[in-house]
Amino acid sequence: MNYLSNKKGFLGIDNRFSIKQKVVVVPFGLEKTVSYGGGTKNGPKEIIKASHQVELYDEELKCEPYKKIGIKTLKPFKIDKSIRKALNKISKINEEIISKNMFPLTFGGEHSITPGCITPFVKKYKKLCLLHFDAHADLRDSYEGEKYSHASAIRRCLDNKNVSIISLGIRNISKSEIHYLKKNTGRIKIFWAKDKKKWNLNSFRKLIKNKTVYLTFDVDGLDSSIMPATGTPEPGGLLWDETLEIIKIAMKNAKVVGADINELAPIKGFNSYNFLVAKLAYKILSYKFLC
């Protein structure tokens, strides 16, 4: 696998620092099926660029987590024009990463990457639970004629019979998705954004406890007041502190084996949104290996 130097990769760590890595960051700016705002292909490079400004010391965990984790970043590579070939590519990359007992963290790109990302995990584990942060259910069978659309990402994941979903922050769903949801309540649990004030995180803790989990984070799951830099921003979403609390509960109670963060569409001159996603990625890894 071809890696960027530490200094050019995620977090911009000094090249003199060396540790056997536990994490591989995969920049994968797939943008094929966007249906409103574009720009997700630029998400990975802007996340990595912003990460060089993230403070390496974590005041909550009282350490510099990167020193206890070991993080390498793959060199950017050409992404196939065919969405199915692209998904096969990310599947093979993740398969190689997990064969070396490392944790893949993919930076999209649009949410359509997730069915490809999880393929090797679906093969490896008897049951896999997706922890899904999103404004949208993504349960359409197809959208604008494309079965592998970003609007169908979770539906394609559920094509695998051993996959279940816990979704948080959903506040945009179509009538056809409601029909599918009602037929599959045994595999899909949704924490609706409209009910956020009444969420019982103890029930979430029990729901996710001891499960093998893959985390997929669409940044539009965050409220549009803090994350407008995405193709389909929605009001009424998750805020920073409550998001971290949920992720921490998952990391403490489940076996989280991989993750992706997607749908950042950078806005020129507004670096705070890129920085938010970079810090979110660092927090995910820090909680994974230190909680």
Q: What token pair was written down for 51?
A: 């990460």
Is this prediction's pTM over 0.85?
Answer: yes
pLDDT in tens, 162-194: 999 999 999 999 999 999 999 999 999 999 999
Radius of gyration of the chain (CA): 17
Q: What's the helix, strand, coil split of the chain in %, to 5?
A: 40, 20, 40
β-pair type (71-73, 212-218): unpaired
pLDDT at 93: 97
- Separation in Å, CA 122 to CA 7, 105, 259: 34, 16, 13
Residue 70 zone, left/alpha/beta (φ > 0; ψ -120 to 50; rest): left
Q: What token pair was written down for 39?
A: 């720009």
pLDDT at 145: 78
CA distance 291 to 287: 5
**Cross-strand bridge partners of residue 216:** 132, 260
10-290, CATH topology level:
Arginase; Chain A (3.40.800)
pLDDT at 144: 75
pLDDT at 38: 61
- Please list the alpha-helical segments (H only) found in the chain: 43-51, 66-69, 83-99, 114-124, 153-157, 175-183, 201-208, 240-253, 271-290
278, 131 contact by CB (below 8 A): no
pLDDT at 150: 83
The helix (run of H) or strand (run of E) holding residue 258 is: strand 255-262
Share of the chain above pLDDT 70, in %: 96
Domain boundaries, the chain: 10-290
Within the chain, which residues score under 50 in pLDDT?
Answer: none
Nearest to 46 by CA among 273, 227, 231: 273
pLDDT at 241: 97
pLDDT at 16: 67
pLDDT at 22: 95
pLDDT at 11: 97
Q: How many other C-beta atoms are found inside a 10 Å radius of the C-beta of residue 165?
A: 23
